[in-house]
Amino acid sequence: MSTIALNKLVTVCIDIARTAGREIKRIYEQVGQGDVSYKDDKTPLTEADLASHRIIYDALQQLTPDVPVLSEEGELPSYAQRQQWTSYWLVDPLDGTREFIDRTGEFCVNIAMVEDHEAVLGVIYSPLQDILYYACQCGGAFKVVGAAAPQPIMTHKIDSDIIRVTTSRRHGLDSLQRYLPELKDDDILQLGSALKIGLIAEGGADLYPRTGPTSEWDTAAGQCIITEAGGALLDFNGQSLRYNDKDSVLNPYFIAIGDPTYEWQTILQRGDNHGK
Domains and CATH numbers, the chain: 3-152 (3.30.540.10), 165-274 (3.40.190.80)
Which of 26, 16, 53 lies closest to 134, judged by CA?
16
Contacts of 164 (CB under 8 A, 6+ apart): 156, 187, 189, 204, 205, 206, 207
Quote the pLDDT of residue 171: 62
**Per-residue pLDDT tens for 45-85?**
799 999 999 999 999 999 999 999 999 999 999 999 999 99
Residues of the chain with pLDDT under 50: 274-276
CB atoms within 10 A of CB 39: 12
| Pairing relationship of beta strands 87-95 and 69-71 according to DSSP bridges | parallel
Contacts of 258 (CB under 8 A, 6+ apart): 155, 156, 157, 158, 200, 201, 203, 205, 206, 207, 226, 229, 230, 231
pTM of structure: 0.92
Cα 6 versus chain centre, distance: 18
SS3 annotation, 154-214:
CCCCCCCCCCCEEECCCCCHHHHHHHCCCCCHHHEEECCCCHHHHHHHCCCCCEEEECCCC
Quote the pLDDT of residue 275: 43
Q: Please tell me the distance from the alpha carbon of residue 123 to that of residue 108, in angstroms, as a whole number.
A: 10
Q: Contact, 166 vs 191, CB < 8 A?
A: yes
Burial of residue 204, with CB atoms counted within 10 A of its CB: 0-12 exposed, 13-18 middle, 19 or more buried: middle
Task: Report angle CA 123, 128, 132 to the nearest 5 degrees.
Answer: 25
Which of 192, 14, 163, 178 lies closest to 100, judged by CA?
192
Contacts of 205 (CB under 8 A, 6+ apart): 156, 164, 165, 166, 189, 196, 199, 258
